[in-house]
A and B are shown apart, each in its own frame.
Chain A
């Protein structure tokens, strides 16, 4: 209503102001309409530091942008461009490289440094080649840093109709999870093969030891028989008797060593078969102690047995071997004037043998190695070098084959030691 009248009146201050306001209103309305209709995509806003340009996004664009961002996060797929010396990154690229989005995208040079040395070189070469030839590329790359990730990168050139090749755009697919799973699968496969190979080697070794021990043992029997015949024939010839005795003693020793090898190889390969029967453990101990009495007397060791009858399921020969071995050790390592006490006790399902000597004793580290093969703790004791170092290893194997256990204790060097054997009374099923 005021405008037509304002237009007719001659120019004056008031209508001029009105028309200015009117024009501004019309312009503002047109601007708002343009924004609403999506005709413009940027607006100038007044920031404290001066005017600045802000990007407008309409609701549909915002929605599409959000969908795209979420899809990229779900697929762990980042997108990037390189154009006019500028790198742009989608949000997922920041996630892949664990880079703070506030830093913005890196420069091209910086982006190479985000990868391990080898990957960076390959990427740089591929990018340079792509920028020269206009050909895309595909690479598997490893990121730098201790928590490294793998990504599959694809790139293609950006062509503009007027300027030709203007840059590159591409994707980076995070492959870390599948890559790790694959590596783990390969590792397990390798371990499986390796375990099989080692098992095979171990079996081969056991087979060889077993066969060797057998073949070494066989010729010894006729030698020993022949020696017995020769001893009879020699009669009173002292010199010949002495040499026959030497031969006999060494052949016997050889036989013992071979037997040790044979048994330990059987124990290792788990091919030890026990001939179970019910026996009196007390009788076994009495017999063993009796046969060592002369040796003990020679070494001035007082040997004492405290036992009562106790029936137990066992392979008598093998358990006899265990007891002989322990007694022999006990006497060997007890200095003259010492004692070796053997004690047998039984509960309703277990038998226990304790052999306590007043001998050399052992340190805790020595105790730990005691039952390992080829271990000799007291090299400087006379007679110690005679064995193979398999004695206690075989004892342990035989006792465990019976379902029992063996262990030793010592208050310390020079204070004697105790060997304990525990066996189930009934054959374990």
Chain B
């Protein structure tokens, strides 16, 4: 946690440096972990939305690990998951958490630093 905090504190200036598309984060290899409960409802929707976004912006440079907490509830403690579905970006650092079914595309892009930043 002590490491993450400086990262977070630094990140606000970053968009100003990387002013041109694609965004700084978009160029890196991404790894996601999606916490779901079964394969219905918002969990299924979240996976579909995540895949669509990744295919579009991170084609070939991402991995998605799906954790079904209905089957393995004990894994919830790994990333301190409280609500489901939750997307955790494990790489690049810092960790990011996005709650919900990821259907609000622009919010997801902001949350994952994938937005093309305008000056």
A→B interface (CB under 8 Å) = 7, 11, 16, 19-20, 23, 27-28, 30-31, 34-35, 37, 39-44, 50-53, 55
Distance between Cα atoms of A16 and B84 in the complex (Å): 28
- The 8 A-B pairs of least Cβ separation, nearest first, read A39-B100, A42-B84, A42-B37, A34-B99, A40-B83, A44-B76, A41-B42, A51-B73
Asked if residues B1 and A16 are in contact (CB atoms below 8 Å), the reply is: yes
Asked if residues A41 and B69 are in contact (CB atoms below 8 Å), the reply is: no
Does B56 make an interface contact (CB < 8 A)? no
A41-B41, A44-B69 as given contacts; A34 in contact with B83, CB under 8 Å: yes
Distance between Cα atoms of A131 and B84 in the complex (Å): 33
A23-B1, A41-B42 as given contacts; A50 in contact with B73, CB under 8 Å: yes
Which label, helix, strand, loop or mixed, suits the secondary structure of the A interface? mixed
Q: How far is the CB of A316 from chain B (nearest CB, A)?
A: 97
With a cutoff of 8 Å between Cβ atoms, the chain A residues found around residue B69 in the complex are 42, 44, 51, 53
A16-B2, A23-B1 as given contacts; A40 in contact with B85, CB under 8 Å: yes
B→A interface (CB under 8 Å) = 1-2, 5, 9, 37, 41-43, 69-70, 73-74, 76-77, 80-86, 97, 99-101
Which label, helix, strand, loop or mixed, suits the secondary structure of the B interface? mixed
Asked if residues B86 and A40 are in contact (CB atoms below 8 Å), the reply is: yes
Asked if residues B1 and A35 are in contact (CB atoms below 8 Å), the reply is: no
26 interchain pairs (CB within 8 A)?
Answer: A7-B9, A16-B1, A19-B1, A23-B1, A23-B5, A28-B82, A37-B100, A39-B83, A39-B99, A39-B100, A40-B83, A40-B99, A41-B37, A41-B41, A41-B85, A42-B37, A42-B84, A43-B82, A44-B73, A44-B76, A44-B82, A51-B73, A51-B74, A52-B73, A53-B76, A55-B37
Asked if residues A35 and B83 are in contact (CB atoms below 8 Å), the reply is: yes
Distance between Cα atoms of A55 and B85 in the complex (Å): 11
With a cutoff of 8 Å between Cβ atoms, the chain A residues found around residue B81 in the complex are 44
With a cutoff of 8 Å between Cβ atoms, the chain B residues found around residue A34 in the complex are 83, 99-100
With a cutoff of 8 Å between Cβ atoms, the chain B residues found around residue A23 in the complex are 1, 5
Q: Which of B5, B42, B43, B82 has the most CB of A within 10 A?
A: B82
Distance between Cα atoms of A7 and B85 in the complex (Å): 32
A20-B1, A41-B42 as given contacts; A53 in contact with B100, CB under 8 Å: no
Q: How far is the CB of B95 from chain A (nearest CB, A)?
A: 11
With a cutoff of 8 Å between Cβ atoms, the chain B residues found around residue A7 in the complex are 5, 9
Asked if residues A43 and B1 are in contact (CB atoms below 8 Å), the reply is: no
Distance between Cα atoms of A11 and B4 in the complex (Å): 12
Distance between Cα atoms of A198 and B2 in the complex (Å): 102
Q: How far is the CB of B9 from chain A (nearest CB, A)?
A: 5
Q: How far is the CB of B48 from chain A (nearest CB, A)?
A: 11
Asked if residues B37 and A39 are in contact (CB atoms below 8 Å), the reply is: no
Q: How far is the CB of A346 from chain B (nearest CB, A)?
A: 96
Distance between Cα atoms of A41 and B101 in the complex (Å): 9
